[in-house]
Structure 1
Amino acid sequence: MGITERRKLEKEIIRKKILDTASQILVEEGYENLSIRKIANKIEYSPGIIYHYFKDKSEIVTFVVEQGYGRILKSINEVPVDTENPEKTIEKGLRQYIELMLQYPEQFRTVLMNDIKSIQEKVNMLHEGVSKDRKSIQQLCRLVELGIQKDKFRDMDIELTAQIIWTSTHGLLSRLILEKNISKQQRERLIAHHFQILISGLLK
């Protein structure tokens, strides 16, 4: 490995260390307790080194959120599409999303239950035209459109339908994470009934 390649690798390692440490602080202590100095202390570098890679705390948070959101999207999009039964793909994908976030509830809080402007700019879902600029809802829109084309779903506004499917699932997940005393049996009943109502609302 040449000097240039080695320096590039070293920079990538330091950058990853900064982002991983910031993510850990966000999850364990919250946004308000994240600072450049705290990151620097944990990774044993000077604050100046961190500013060499990121201009400020907000930029670090933006990259952390993008990474976390990327993992969420990957888990949903890995579900194979059943072209004959798009409703089954919708349920499987969202179930996978729920299961993933129940395993990592603090990541869900950090990425999707935060009112920090720089985070919300990345994850807001309810504005008109969201399907043009949010990968997270594009797949859902395609599945709703497929169901309509297959004459399985009622004719409805595709984007609005995808927004309601996403936000209703997000709402259930939020409560499951916040209400920690719910039994596993009750949790499963709630999830199953959620999808029963959701899918029945789509089908003709």
Structure 2
Amino acid sequence: MKRNASRLVLRCLVAALLGISTLTGCDDGQPIVPGVPSDQAPSTSQAADRSAPPQSQDGEKPVSVETEIIRVIDGDTIAVRAVAGALQPTNDAGTQHTVRLLGIDAAEMNYGKDAGPECGAQEATDHLNKLLPEGTQVTISYDSHADRTDRYGRSLAYVLVSSSDEDVNLAQTAGGYAEAWIPKGEPQPERWHEYLSAAEQAKWQHKGAYGAPANCPTLGRQ
């Protein structure tokens, strides 16, 4: 009777030991579950991370933005419709964004000043109005070398007519309505030499405000 009881206890111990060895292992201290390989499958969040497209680390802004013309301010400045997240409003009503045409400078209209418009200012404004009437669809394109905005929050950019890809900045210089210009100490935009060449040729050929009746010796800042 005692012998049978001893055998029964021994069998129970062996069975218990076999069960423990099956359910436990020593692979990096992680439990081994039957039917699951030791190389554990990734969690749901890990799988989602692998399938998701990489996100920008520095919150990059778009290189170009589509919008439309609200009005022309002068020969080198326009107001366009604001675009959430891309073209922040620059007016109190929150509806429009001001764009300063990059790489050029036209004569000043001198709004709100006692002095009248500078030589060629009205001609430059009128020409830009012809290129960009209200409602014109445009692409605001930023330069990789220049700042995107100035201290007033205005965009510093190229303005392209969406239907034709016409470079409006170039049209102003080539037509004889603006000088090629960048602030002192600022890097040259990618299209600087193209604008400079166009402006010099227009001046030599007496185009636009360089010709009659304005006959301006210079336009904008040199």
For normalisation by structure 1, the TM-score amounts to 0.24
Task: Decide which structure has greater strand share.
Answer: 2
For normalisation by structure 2, the TM-score amounts to 0.23
Bigger radius of gyration, 1 or 2?
2
